[in-house]
Structure 1
Amino acid sequence: MPELDLTVSSADLTRAVCDIPSVSDDETALADAIFAAVSPLAHLEVIRDGDTIVARTQLGRAQRVVIAGHIDTVPINANLPVREMVEDGQEFLWGRGTVDMKAGVAVQLKLAAELVDPRVDITWMWYDHEEVAAELNGLTRLAANRPDLFAGDFAILGEPSNGQVEGGCNGNLRAIVRTHGVRSHSARAWIGDNAIHHAAPILHRLSEHTPADVEVEGLVYREGLNAVRISGGIAGNVIPDLCEVEVNYRFAPSRSPEEAVAIVREFFDGFEVEVVDLAGGARPGLDAPLAQEFVAAVGAEPRPKYGWTDVARFSALGVPAVNYGPGDPSLAHHDQERVPVEQIDAVERGLRTWLSNR
């Protein structure tokens, strides 16, 4: 079984965590390594739920902070093992997971081992299946099995944020928009009715759409409505009777999931629409006293998080939550995924300073 040494630097630990492949549905080896690394730590109570590992202090502090990170990645594409690279004089770690989000996980693991007497009680969560449908997410399962573990006054997700604080997150909706027709031989196309041709207005509406910028509690969230996949047809000589356009709607956290569904159905009025995945967003969460202390301690200028993250789960439970982790979000899932070593060190310093300060 691969082993993790929590005494090495956060950068070296990032390399070790990344070099244990953990594409969604294949996280067990990394979960085993994390469980083995934190279980001997006497100051932590360690709980395992599937491939989700929870480790928490029980010091009787007046406040508790939950700090979480997902351990799965999108598929590898010839970008492991991790390698070092220098670009414009800056040192990077290059490879799958370095940005999204194993550098953040590595920082959390190192601090979990070393912070034996923090200023607040801490619940550390490392969970599986974040990169796939919401119902598969390890936190969904954990919330059903152990809702008590989510108790806290503030939460931090180690999602990539360039070492800055990103408040809240957009909501995420996926829908299938369908058109129907009649099959026939393509040599006698006039007998049939081409479902793919009927999808042209769907694509036209999307190409003409201007997404909204929505201000929420001082942060401006950028929405997006895009076709992400299209399918139709069964053979090269058959007029298709079905076409499906998969659409992704990223909506501002001021909109409820129900409002998002209504917007998409209205936008595609006249077409069959099936919502296949839906997760609400999270408001910035920066008005909580602990959040303000945290932002001040790390010296950050809060920004909006455009993508969906699990801050939404904590927000829904009444726990204000922010994103704070090393890595450029625009490189998440990119084949040239790479994280500056300086950002890994900076995030470690920021969290350590805030959690240790009396």
Structure 2
Amino acid sequence: MTAFDDALLAPDSDLVGLTAAICDIPSVSGDEAALARAIEAMLRARPHLEVIRDGDAVVARTNLGRERRVVVAGHIDTVPIAGNLPTRLAGTAEPGTKGTGDVQGDDRVLWGRGTVDMKGGVAVALALACEIGTPGVEPGVDLTWVFYDHEEVEAARNGLGRLARNRPDLLAADFAILGEPSNAGIEGGCNGTMRADVVTHGVAAHSARSWTGENAIHGAAEVLARLRRYEPRTVEVDGLAYREGLNAVGIRGGIAGNVVPDECVVTVNYRFAPSRDEAEAEKHLREVFEGFDVTVTDSSPGARPGLDAPMAQDFAAAVLAVTGGEPMPKYGWTDVARFAGLGIPAVNFGPGDPLLAHKDDERLPVAELAACRDALRAWLLG
């Protein structure tokens, strides 16, 4: 385990070093404890913050008596490491001076697991949590910073979901920003996601006498054919176009090399536009696979863009002024849906290309770190 050095993560440290240090503490889902302890120690050293630990989630709050409160949240876990830690920094640009703007215009790239999904966003939030609310750096809103566990696994284990169930008071806010990678622009809402098992049945038999049985794996050919013929929709929701998708993501069947299998299971993943709720999504799946047994195994609702909320519009204007990024839809599922379920408008905003999330060559342009930090800082202080 990489040693944690709180001095390295001091608020006036280089933002690139902060990001690298966070990434270099391995925190695959289920193994976030070391990073959670490090984040907790860093935040407890700041007297302007009230810090609460819940499992491997860390919540830090200002209590300045402001009329409105904003949540800035990010998950601290990653998918499994693929030989891509520790991080490495590539490029020729010289680091700038520390502080705001220190890496603007920097052409370096930070490589490694978590740089995009989503420890770049976590680093931005940590740096600002340590600064904003200190004497002379006072925001116009109260702030809640949430660093949570178990996002990259099934929804039932999600740390933000746990907080929403057990401590909804910690998430109470007028607006929320989730630091998921969005190319330093705003991505509104998110698609919903549903996994289901589509089951075919047969009759078991000895493979030497296969005519006495019925092969369930062969029967799955029709399931796959329907998937090949399926034409996903593009749906406009509140001015943003969301692309749907329906794909087989797993198949299993058979118990031995000489037995005709009597069951085959095709696991499918449906990504549905936020215009549909979970019940409508399940109904659609059952229509697509009519005639087969369909069992939903995991589901999370989508979220509408939320860009009609006044605070969201103000934030979008601030981001546009700094990064030039116009709001776009979020195709993948994110925890903005949990905030939407709590009645809190929320958007995705963080450094990194979401197309590089979970890839072995995951990498983050250094300049995007500063762009996100500066846009968020300007809006919070403005």
TM-score range for the pair, normalised by the shorter chain length = over 0.9
Q: How far apart, in 2, do the equivalents of 1:54 and 1:302 lie?
A: 28
Within-5 A mapping of 1:218-229 = 218-229=239-250
Q: CA deviation at 1:186?
A: 1.2
Q: Which among 333, 341, 352 is matched to residue 377 of structure 2?
A: 352
The reply to whether residue 85 of structure 1 matches residue 87 of structure 2 is: no
Which amino acid is 2:75 matched to?
H
Which amino acid is 2:226 matched to?
R
Q: How far apart, in 2, do the equivalents of 1:203 and 1:245 lie?
A: 8
Q: Which among 39, 46, 57 is matched to residue 62 of structure 2?
A: 57
Equivalent residue number for residue 97 of structure 2: none
- Mind listing any 5+ residue stretches in structure 2 that lack a counterpart? 93-105
Q: CA deviation at 1:251?
A: 0.4
Which amino acid is 1:159 matched to?
E
The reply to whether residue 29 of structure 1 matches residue 34 of structure 2 is: yes
Q: How far apart, in 1, do the equivalents of 2:182 and 2:219 lie?
A: 41
Within-5 A mapping of 1:206-245 = 206-245=227-266
Q: CA deviation at 1:279?
A: 0.6
Deviations 1:192-237 (A, max 9, x none): 2111000000000001111100000000000000001111112222
Q: CA deviation at 1:24?
A: 0.5
Q: CA deviation at 1:183?
A: 1.6
Equivalent residue number for residue 115 of structure 1: 132
2:108 counterpart SS class: strand
Which amino acid is 2:356 matched to?
L
* Greater mean alpha carbon deviation, residues 231-240 or residues 288-297: 231-240
Deviations 1:154-175 (A, max 9, x none): 1000000000100000001000
Q: How far apart, in 1, do the equivalents of 2:248 and 2:198 lie?
A: 10
Q: Which among 343, 347, 350 is matched to residue 325 of structure 1?
A: 350
Equivalent residue number for residue 246 of structure 1: 267
Equivalent residue number for residue 100 of structure 2: none
Which amino acid is 2:36 matched to?
A
Q: Among the aligned pairs, what percent are the same residue?
A: 64
Equivalent residue number for residue 13 of structure 1: 18
Equivalent residue number for residue 145 of structure 1: 166
Equivalent residue number for residue 115 of structure 2: 98
* Greater mean alpha carbon deviation, residues 297-306 or residues 46-55: 297-306
Q: Which among 336, 352, 362 is matched to residue 311 of structure 1?
A: 336
User: Does the aligned pair in 2 maintain the 1:10–1:348 contact within 8 Å?
Assistant: no
* Greater mean alpha carbon deviation, residues 314-323 or residues 6-15: 6-15
Within-5 A mapping of 1:161-176 = 161-176=182-197
Which amino acid is 2:59 matched to?
V
1:355 counterpart SS class: helix
Which amino acid is 2:263 matched to?
L
Q: How far apart, in 2, do the equivalents of 1:125 and 1:231 lie?
A: 39
Which amino acid is 2:61 matched to?
R
Which amino acid is 1:6 matched to?
A
Equivalent residue number for residue 341 of structure 1: 366
Q: CA deviation at 1:142?
A: 1.1
1:350 counterpart SS class: helix
2:176 counterpart SS class: strand
Q: CA deviation at 1:180?
A: 1.2
Q: How far apart, in 1, do the equivalents of 2:226 and 2:262 lie?
A: 22
Q: Which among 177, 193, 199 is matched to residue 156 of structure 1?
A: 177
Deviations 1:295-326 (A, max 9, x none): 10111310000000000011111110000000
Q: How far apart, in 1, do the equivalents of 2:231 and 2:335 lie?
A: 27
1:346 counterpart SS class: helix
Equivalent residue number for residue 81 of structure 2: 76
TM-score normalised per structure 1: 0.98
Q: How far apart, in 2, do the equivalents of 1:3 and 1:264 lie?
A: 49
Q: How far apart, in 2, do the equivalents of 1:229 and 1:93 lie?
A: 33
Deviations 1:92-128 (A, max 9, x none): 1111000000000010000000111211101000000
In the TM superposition, structure 1's runs of 4+ consecutive aligned residues that sit over 4 Å from their partners are: none
1:347 counterpart SS class: helix
Equivalent residue number for residue 3 of structure 1: 5
Q: CA deviation at 1:241?
A: 1.2
Q: How far apart, in 1, do the equivalents of 2:255 and 2:84 lie?
A: 34
- Mind listing any 5+ residue stretches in structure 1 that lack a counterpart? none
2:165 counterpart SS class: helix
Which amino acid is 1:103 matched to?
G
Q: How far apart, in 1, do the equivalents of 2:369 and 2:375 lie?
A: 10
Equivalent residue number for residue 275 of structure 1: 296
Q: CA deviation at 1:9?
A: 2.1
Q: How far apart, in 2, do the equivalents of 1:96 and 1:257 lie?
A: 32
Change (3 A) 1:86 1:180: farther
Deviations 1:250-294 (A, max 9, x none): 000010111001000111000000000011000000011111110
Q: How far apart, in 2, do the equivalents of 1:53 and 1:129 lie?
A: 13
Q: CA deviation at 1:6?
A: 2.6
Q: CA deviation at 1:23?
A: 0.4
Q: CA deviation at 1:3?
A: 3.0
Q: How far apart, in 1, do the equivalents of 2:10 and 2:364 lie?
A: 20
Q: How far apart, in 2, do the equivalents of 1:285 and 1:328 lie?
A: 22
